Amino acid sequence: MSVSDKVKASLNLSGKKIYELAECFEISPQAMRNKLSRQSFSAADLIKLCDFIGANLVIDFGENQRVVFDSSDIQKGE
């Protein structure tokens, strides 16, 4: 499954729409569709997506070892 497919699935599971995500990113719906078609999501974009849908971006090493990313990890200006 591609990153864009995972983004779309995450939106679907959360009941959110692509145009709402575009508003969150402060871009046009067309720009968001272009981002999806190009699969051009940075780590900061994925963190913003997770904040938007109320989820966590996690690297899971198993056995209760996890690294969780949130909006505080996004550098200013991104």
End-to-end Cα separation, the chain, in angstroms: 26
74 vs 75 pLDDT, higher one: 74
CATH code that applies to domain 3-73: 1.10.260
What six digits make up the tokens of 75?
Answer: 């550098």
Burial degree of 20 (CB within 10 A; 0-12, 13-18, 19+) = middle
| pLDDT, tens only, 18-72 | 999 999 999 999 999 999 999 999 999 999 999 999 999 999 999 889 999 988 8
Please give the pLDDT value at position 74: 85
